[in-house]
Amino acid sequence: MSSTLQAAVIGLGNISSVHIEQWQKADGVELVAGADINAEAVAKAQDAHGIRGFTDWREMLDKIEPDVVSICTPPAMHREMGVECLQRGVSVMCEKPLAADVPDGEEIAAAAREAEAKFMVAYCHRWHPTIIAVKQVLDAGTIGRSLMFRCAFAGWNIFSGNHRASLKLAGGGALMDNGSHAADIYQYLLGRIANVSCRAGTKVQDMETDDVAIMIFEGQNGCYGEIIVGYSLPGSHTEFRIIGDKGFLRLDDYFAGPVKIWLRETQQWSEHAVPAGNRFDGEFAHFLAAVRGETELLSTADTALHVQKAIGAAYEDARRKGVPVS
């Protein structure tokens, strides 16, 4: 590997703009190429960023031999692309979720365990400043033992026609897409998930996947959790709170903070400051440090596989629909 890392992006849709920007501004990285099956997207990226464009991602790997690759395609392609990159010794920043289903996720995780190259899953909220602040409060023991976790990432987004509307391409809708972020945040803050229940359905939009879902679960530490997601819920419903036995914390503004804390003992509110920065800068700096051998990856194929299993189990429970009420 040369000291300047050659980077390439597979999938030149919506989220690729974040990856392109991050590779372009990172020290010691040169963004050299991009691939997409959509020739128009390839031409646009070539013109805008002066990179080499390909409509066949394998041809790009053959010709460019990059050191690091972003996978920004729909989840159903992550297995094939991720495993092949790892087998070629290419480190991967793969967009979340890990895959469209658990078997694909297992295959990626097995390949990642075998490989010397790094495989990170872009669960970017682990680097979101307000979540870092929440973690500081929890780790300090301020609110005591966590009893209840609640995270809502819901609003109104028309996704008919998008890959998120296709069961085959996405593996699920709002729960797979945003619920996986919430489940990963829970894992990062409070540990693994032990069991789940769920309702998920297609309520408003013309799509094969869920546009409204609610998942409740129990963590291995005994904390109960609730995740609310939806593409078809008018307004914006970003809520975040954790209740412990000594008090509770909440983020009224998930994006800017502060973390508000109320304690049983003092019956007073206080605020915990949010560090500066943005989640994508933190995420890419962390990945590059891991590729350079300076740190261990925080978001791996294995941690993402746990989320994949929790979401898969939630969909399984949603199909059962619980205990009928007569």
Q: How near is the Cβ of 34 to ligand NAD at its closest, in Å?
A: 9
SS3 of 163, please?
helix
Question: Which of 137/305 has CB closer to ligand NAD?
Answer: 305
Q: How near is the Cβ of 284 to ligand NAD at its closest, in Å?
A: 12
Site for ligand NAD in 144-203 (CB under 6 A): 162-163, 177
| 15 touches ligand NAD by CB under 6 A | yes
Question: Which of 73/205 has CB closer to ligand NAD?
Answer: 73
DSSP per-residue codes, 264-298:
TTTTEEEEEPPPSS-HHHHHHHHHHHHHTTSS--S
Question: Which of 75/257 has CB closer to ligand NAD?
Answer: 75
Applying CB under 6 A, the site for ligand NAD has a residue count of 24
Question: Which of 165/243 has CB closer to ligand NAD?
Answer: 165
Q: Are 18 and 24 in contact (CB under 8 A)?
A: no
Q: Are 6 and 65 in contact (CB under 8 A)?
A: yes
Binder to ligand NAD among 67, 95, 184, 317 (CB under 6 A)? 95
Binder to ligand NAD among 33, 93, 122, 193 (CB under 6 A)? 122
Q: How near is the Cβ of 154 to ligand NAD at its closest, in Å?
A: 15
Following CA atoms 4, 9, 13, 15 in sequence, which dihedral angle do they give, to the nearest 10 degrees? -60
Q: How near is the Cβ of 231 to ligand NAD at its closest, in Å?
A: 13
Q: How near is the Cβ of 326 to ligand NAD at its closest, in Å?
A: 40
Binder to ligand NAD among 7, 8, 11, 198 (CB under 6 A)? 11
* Cα–Cα separations (whole angstroms), residue 22 to 8, 75, 107: 12, 21, 28
Q: How near is the Cβ of 69 to ligand NAD at its closest, in Å?
A: 11
Q: Tell me the two tokens of residue 273.
A: 């400051």
Question: Which of 36/317 has CB closer to ligand NAD?
Answer: 36
Site for ligand NAD in 63-92 (CB under 6 A): 72-75, 77
SS3 of 185, please?
helix
Pick the stretch among 30-38, 58-66, 252-260, 303-311 that binds ligand NAD (CB under 6 A).
30-38
Question: Which of 15/183 has CB closer to ligand NAD?
Answer: 15
Q: Which residue is nearest to ligand NAD (CB)?
A: 13
- Nearest Cα to 93, choosing from 62, 113, 117, 116? 117
- Nearest Cα to 284, choosing from 132, 85, 134, 120? 120
Q: How near is the Cβ of 73 to ligand NAD at its closest, in Å?
A: 4
Site for ligand NAD in 293-312 (CB under 6 A): none
Question: Which of 237/260 has CB closer to ligand NAD?
Answer: 237
Q: Exposed, middle or buried, 285 (CB in 10 Å: 0-12/13-18/19+)?
A: middle
Binder to ligand NAD among 7, 8, 9, 10 (CB under 6 A)? 10
Residue 189, phi then psi, degrees to nearest 5:
-85, -40
Q: Exposed, middle or buried, 256 (CB in 10 Å: 0-12/13-18/19+)?
A: exposed
Q: Which one-letter amino acid corresponds to residue 314?
A: A
- Nearest Cα to 67, choosing from 117, 142, 106? 117
* Cα–Cα separations (whole angstroms), residue 125 to 59, 199, 213, 278: 33, 24, 20, 10
| 41 touches ligand NAD by CB under 6 A | yes
Binding site for ligand NAD (CB under 6 A): 10-15, 35-38, 41, 57, 72-75, 77, 95-96, 122, 124, 162-163, 177
